[in-house]
Amino acid sequence: MGKKATLYLIHNLMILISVVLLLMALGGWRAAYVDPADCSLFPFLGLALPVVLILNLLLLLYWTIRLKAWLLAPLVALVVNVGYITAMYRLPFGRGEAASADLTVGTYNVHGFSLGEYRRVMGQVAGLFSEEGADVVCLQEFRLVNRYTMDSVARVFDYLPYQVFKGTDIALLSKYPVLASGLVPFPNTGNSAVWADLSVDGSRVRVLGVHMQTTGVAPVRTALSRERSDGDLSGGKQAVIRLRDNLRDNARIRAQQALKLRRLIDTTTIPLIVCGDFNDTPASFTYRTLKGGLTDGFKACGSGYGTTFRGFRDMLRIDYIFYSDDFEGVRYDVSKVALSDHRPVILYANLRPAGR
Taking the C-alpha atoms of residue 346 and residue 301, their distance in angstroms, rounded to an integer, is 11
User: What pLDDT, on a 0 to 100 scale, did the predictor assign at position 7?
Assistant: 85
Do 308 and 174 belong together in one domain? yes
Domain membership of residue 258 (yes or no) is yes
User: What pLDDT, on a 0 to 100 scale, did the predictor assign at position 204?
Assistant: 97
Q: How many of the other CB atoms lie within 10 Å of CB of 310?
A: 15
User: What pLDDT, on a 0 to 100 scale, did the predictor assign at position 223?
Assistant: 54
Which CATH number does the domain housing residue 326 bear?
3.60.10.10
Domains of the chain: total: 2
DSSP strand E in the chain: where? 89-90, 103-109, 136-140, 162-165, 170-174, 178-185, 192-200, 203-211, 272-277, 295-296, 304-305, 319-323, 327-334, 345-351
Taking the C-alpha atoms of residue 123 and residue 190, their distance in angstroms, rounded to an integer, is 25
Among candidates 113, 162, 92, 111, which has minimal Cα distance to 134? 162
User: What pLDDT, on a 0 to 100 scale, did the predictor assign at position 168?
Assistant: 92
Q: Which of 34, 51, 80 is the last residue of a domain?
A: 80
Do 134 and 275 belong together in one domain? yes
User: What pLDDT, on a 0 to 100 scale, did the predictor assign at position 240?
Assistant: 73
Taking the C-alpha atoms of residue 109 and residue 107, their distance in angstroms, rounded to an integer, is 7
Domain membership of residue 8 (yes or no) is yes
For the chain, how are helix, strand and coil distributed in percent, rounded to 5? 45, 25, 30
Total-model pTM: 0.91
Do 150 and 75 belong together in one domain? no
- Check if the beta carbon of residue 286 is closer than 8 Å to that of residue 280: yes
The vertex-205 CA angle with 293 and 343, nearest 5°, equals: 70
Taking the C-alpha atoms of residue 12 and residue 319, their distance in angstroms, rounded to an integer, is 41
Do 133 and 258 belong together in one domain? yes
Domain membership of residue 91 (yes or no) is no
Domain membership of residue 90 (yes or no) is no
User: What pLDDT, on a 0 to 100 scale, did the predictor assign at position 222?
Assistant: 56
Do 120 and 68 belong together in one domain? no
Amino acid identity of residue 244, one-letter, is: R
Taking the C-alpha atoms of residue 172 and residue 166, their distance in angstroms, rounded to an integer, is 10
Q: Which of 24, 47, 80 is the last residue of a domain?
A: 80
- Check if the beta carbon of residue 23 is closer than 8 Å to that of residue 56: no
User: What pLDDT, on a 0 to 100 scale, did the predictor assign at position 331?
Assistant: 94
User: What pLDDT, on a 0 to 100 scale, did the predictor assign at position 232?
Assistant: 57
Do 76 and 102 belong together in one domain? no
Helix (H) or strand (E) holding 267: none
Do 14 and 142 belong together in one domain? no
Do 57 and 174 belong together in one domain? no
Do 241 and 310 belong together in one domain? yes
Do 68 and 110 belong together in one domain? no
Domain membership of residue 85 (yes or no) is no
Domain membership of residue 179 (yes or no) is yes
Taking the C-alpha atoms of residue 189 and residue 181, their distance in angstroms, rounded to an integer, is 21
User: What pLDDT, on a 0 to 100 scale, did the predictor assign at position 314?
Assistant: 86
Helix axes 49-66, 72-80, angle to 10 degrees: 150
* Residue 148 φ then ψ, to 5°: -80, 135
- Check if the beta carbon of residue 252 is closer than 8 Å to that of residue 37: yes
H-only helix segments in 163-235: 217-230
Do 178 and 299 belong together in one domain? yes
Q: Which of 80, 115, 137 is the last residue of a domain?
A: 80
Show pLDDT as tens, one digit a residue, over the chain (356 residues).
678 888 889 999 999 999 999 999 999 999 999 999 999 999 999 999 999 999 999 999 999 999 999 999 999 999 999 999 999 999 876 555 555 789 999 999 999 999 999 999 999 999 999 999 999 999 999 999 888 899 999 999 999 999 999 999 999 999 999 999 999 999 888 899 999 999 999 999 999 999 999 876 665 555 555 555 555 555 566 767 887 888 899 999 999 999 999 999 999 999 999 999 999 999 999 999 999 999 999 999 999 999 999 887 788 999 999 999 999 999 999 999 999 999 999 999 999 887 45
Taking the C-alpha atoms of residue 310 and residue 307, their distance in angstroms, rounded to an integer, is 8
Do 75 and 164 belong together in one domain? no
Domain membership of residue 87 (yes or no) is no
Domain membership of residue 332 (yes or no) is yes
Supply the range of the domain harboring residue 12.
3-80
User: What pLDDT, on a 0 to 100 scale, did the predictor assign at position 353?
Assistant: 81
String of b and e for 183-192 (b: at least 16 CB within 10 Å)?
ebebeebebb
Q: How far is CA 50 from CA 44, 246, 327, in A?
A: 12, 20, 30
